[in-house]
């Protein structure tokens, strides 16, 4: 039995249109040529594919089973053609975004959804980085695009940057914490007896950053911002937290925002960064999308964006 993809397209078209005549119009072939070809295919498989006894041509039970098993082959081939076409146009097979752990992954889901409409064949990979880990991800080619980088890149990293916005950090402790009862603003000496909760910098090749510590403060190092928030909510230590991530906990009283001398205003600029080493339609799409202030607001979280 010798079946081609064109044969499957023919059978699929007849099934969808309900007649040889309509299929002939769609496929730009004569009705008689369509009918003869179907008869030839039926002779090859040894059973009748279509029931021609009624006004509308329908699949026989055997024909329906045959076409149902054959359709995945047709869909896979069409997907393969689309992928090859996008590769010819320069689209990446895989595109990796490194997202600083300050920003929840779900904040960029809307971007990923829109991108999938344009290039569904591109595999998207989202990586999580902390502090200098963002720059390191670019340097070590772990990412094509970084969202949420802070500070400055190392001198030996040649990359381009654009502003994402600023993230406000607040010093917050759980309701009932001893610091809540102390006069504000708190002095550095007031914090010395409490461990500072930190997230470990994910950089591999670049010197790691560390949060500012008081001389005698111990540290509790956790892997993610979510873990840091939970640990501080449990009273395991203190530290600054991104306001958009804990605003709901401030609103319901789970966290209490306190003032610390010298830390009345803690707003840090965050950046988008990338290497411009070769053309990338995927990179161009994300950079174009991130030019919009409304998009940056969604990425940072409600109330996080400012110029």
Angle at 229 between CA 227 and CA 232, to 5 degrees: 105
How confident is residue 125, by pLDDT bands cut at 50, 70 and 90? Answer: very high
Res 241: pLDDT = 95
Higher-pLDDT residue of 275, 277: 275
Supply the pLDDT for residue 76. 67
Q: Is 93's pLDDT higher than 50?
A: yes
Choose which CATH entry (3.40.190.10, 3.30.390.30, 3.90.78.10, 2.40.10.10) describes domain 94-165+268-300: 3.40.190.10
Per-residue confidence (pLDDT) for residue 180, from 0 to 100: 95
Most confident among 117-121, 129-133, 263-267 (mean pLDDT): 129-133
Q: Write the CB contacts of 153 (distance below 8 Å, at least 6 apart in sequence).
A: 135, 138, 159, 161, 273
pLDDT of residue 119: 86
Supply the pLDDT for residue 305.
42
Q: Can you name the CATH fold of 5-88? A: Arc Repressor Mutant, subunit A (1.10.10)
Please state the φ and ψ torsions of residue 9, each to the nearest 5 degrees: -60, -40
Alpha-carbon distances of 140 from 52, 100, 210, 287, 292, rounded to whole Å: 64, 16, 21, 21, 29
Domain locations in the chain as residue ranges: 5-88, 94-165+268-300, 167-266
pLDDT attached to residue 74: 63
List Cβ neighbours of 236 (8 Å cut-off, separation of 6 or more).
195, 197, 220
Position 291 scores a pLDDT of: 95
Tally Cβ neighbours within 10 Å of residue 87.
13
Phi and psi at residue 115, to the nearest 5°: -65, -40
DSSP class per residue in 175-239: TT-GGGGS-SSBPHHHHTTSPEEEE----SSSPPP-----TT--EEEESSHHHHHHHHHTTS-B-
Provide the pLDDT for residue 79. 59
Q: What share of the chain is helix, strand, coil (3-state, %, to 5)?
A: 40, 20, 35
- CATH architecture of the region 167-266: 3-Layer(aba) Sandwich (3.40)
In the prediction, which pLDDT does 77 show?
62
Cis peptide preceding 185, ω within 30 of 0: yes
Residues 6+ apart with CB under 8 A from 271: 146, 148, 149, 150, 161, 162, 163, 164
Please state the rounded mean pLDDT for residues 155-159.
Answer: 88
Q: Which long-range contacts (CB under 8 A, 24 or more apart) does 72-75 make?
A: 73/5, 73/8, 74/5, 74/8, 74/9, 74/12
Is 167-266 in the same CATH topology as 5-88?
Answer: no
What average pLDDT does the segment 114-136 reach?
Answer: 92
- Mean pLDDT (whole number) for 50-72: 84
pLDDT in tens, 225-237: 999 999 999 999 9
Q: Is the pTM of this model over 0.95?
A: no
- pLDDT surpasses 70 at 9: yes
Higher pLDDT, 66 or 77: 66
């Amino acid at each position: 039995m010798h079946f081609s993809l064109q044969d499957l397209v023919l059978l699929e078209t007849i099934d969808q249109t309900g007649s040889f005549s309509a299929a002939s119009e769609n496929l730009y072939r004569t009705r008689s040529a369509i009918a003869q070809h179907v008869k030839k295919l039926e002779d090859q498989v040894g059973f009748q594919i279509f029931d021609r006894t009624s006004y509308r041509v329908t699949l026989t039970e055997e024909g329906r089973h045959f076409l149902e098993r054959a359709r995945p082959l047709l869909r896979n081939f069409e997907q393969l053609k689309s992928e090859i076409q996008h590769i010819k146009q320069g689209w990446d097979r895989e595109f990796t975004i490194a997202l600083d752990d300050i920003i929840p992954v779900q904040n960029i889901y809307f971007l990923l959804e829109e991108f999938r409409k344009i290039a569904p064949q591109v595999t998207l990979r989202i990586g999580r980085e902390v502090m200098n880990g963002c720059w390191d991800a670019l340097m070590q080619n772990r990412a094509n695009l970084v969202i949420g980088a802070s500070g400055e890149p190392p001198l030996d990293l040649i990359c381009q940057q654009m502003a994402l916005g600023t993230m406000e950090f607040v010093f917050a402790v759980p309701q009932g914490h001893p610091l809540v009862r102390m006069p504000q603003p708190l002095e550095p000496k007031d914090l010395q007896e409490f461990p500072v909760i930190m997230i470990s910098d994910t950089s591999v090749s670049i010197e790691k950053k560390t949060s500012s510590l008081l001389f005698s403060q111990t540290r509790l190092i956790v892997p993610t911002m979510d873990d840091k928030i939970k640990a501080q909510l449990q009273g395991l230590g203190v530290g600054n937290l991104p306001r958009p991530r804990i605003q709901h906990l401030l609103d319901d009283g789970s966290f209490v925002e306190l003032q610390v001398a010298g830390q009345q205003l803690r707003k840090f600029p965050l950046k988008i960064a990338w290497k411009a080493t070769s053309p990338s339609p995927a990179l161009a799409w994300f950079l174009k999308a991130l030019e919009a202030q409304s998009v940056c607001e969604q990425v940072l979280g409600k109330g996080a964006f400012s110029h």
